Amino acid sequence: MDNHRSQKNIDPFFPRSWQLAHEMVLELGPVSRIMGILNVTPDSFSDGGNFTTVGEAVDQAARMVDDGADIIDVGGETTKPGAIAIDRDMEQERVLPVIRSIKERFDTIISIDTYRSDTAQLALEAGAHLVNDVGGFLFDKKMASVVTRFGAGACLMHNSRDRDVGDEIVSDQIEYLCRCVLTAKNSGVTDSQIVLDPGFGFGKDINDNLSLLEKFGLLQEIGFPLLAGTSRKRFTGSVLGEDDTTENRDTVTAATNVIARMAGCAIFRVHDVKTNRLALNLADAVLNTR
């Protein structure tokens, strides 16, 4: 993957087109992009059970679009630590009607949050534009070919769970994410389809997450747009002590995203769209003075 390391001098704020399914393109770089989290699950760590009917989910999508979300990320299975896995039929039963309804109601970009290639295929057929895969295409070897077939966007995530992790966090990030990129490209996925996510949480302890945030800019070495998913994660609560509430985690999340934005992050996956949109508007205003 040395060819990607050679791209490290690319300006992360320079316009780049993210190729998505159904002939959609999203410009990344000059302004922050927000991915609103829509968990249609009963057991997600923060909002499980809040949007389990199609009507509730679509109404929440509408609120997020109104608050400034560029992307709605629909997920049918929680990835919180220790969660009990569901089968693909249950996942698809949860997400597909929601994706179809959002597609009918809004002209917005839809993401499917899944590590299963068959769920991704059905979601893309239903109108989704990109696949957000916590397995980085390494869990399901058919995922890359599905994304290639649809010309979909791909968000490939670093995952520290259930594997040996390198001693130096950035080196492990680069090695793992380059492996994800190689898997994608070997099946025909192009550079213009790929965004990378360093995977805050997902087997990382509090110090790992804080260190990763502090060193976020070093991930630009890989040469792809980056997504940050810090929203309401445990490490955001670690700095709050007795003030650890969902509302306060949203405030801390906005602070993490401003830090990541100043280090070149392009996309921010969040629960509270409005709070993060306002904070990132300030970051963008500062960056525009360069």
Return the domain boundaries, the chain: 101-287
- Is residue 100 within 8 A of residue 57, CB to CB? The reply is no
Residue-level pLDDT at 60: 95
Query: Given pLDDT bands bounded at 50, 70 and 90, which one contains residue 46?
Result: low
DSSP E strands in the chain: the ranges are: 16-19, 25-28, 33-39, 71-75, 109-113, 130-133, 153-157, 194-197, 227-228, 267-270
Task: List CB contacts of 20: < 8 A, sequence separation 6 or more.
Answer: 26, 109, 129, 130, 151, 152, 153, 193
Q: Say which amino acid occupies 184.
A: A
Catalytic residue chosen out of the listed positions 33, 100, 269, 277: 269
Q: Dihedral sign, CA of 274, 29, 157, 237?
A: negative
Measured between alpha carbons, how far is 54 from 97 in angstroms, rounded to an integer?
7
Q: Which CATH architecture has domain 101-287?
A: Alpha-Beta Barrel (3.20)
Measured between alpha carbons, how far is 201 from 186 in angstroms, rounded to an integer?
28
State the average pLDDT over residues 74-87: 82
pLDDT in tens, 182-235: 999 999 999 999 999 999 999 999 999 999 999 999 999 999 999 999 999 999
Residue-level pLDDT at 288: 96
Our answer to whether residue 233 is catalytic in this structure is yes
Catalytic residue chosen out of the listed positions 16, 233, 249, 277: 233
Measured between alpha carbons, how far is 44 from 36 in angstroms, rounded to an integer?
15
Our answer to whether residue 269 is catalytic in this structure is yes
- Is residue 13 within 8 A of residue 143, CB to CB? The reply is no
Mean pLDDT, rounded, of the chain: 93
Query: What tokens appear for 207 in the block?
Result: 């110090």
- Closest by CA position to 39, among listed 88, 83, 78: 78
The string of DSSP letters for 243-286 reads G--HHHHHHHHHHHHHHHHHTT--EEEES-HHHHHHHHHHHHHH
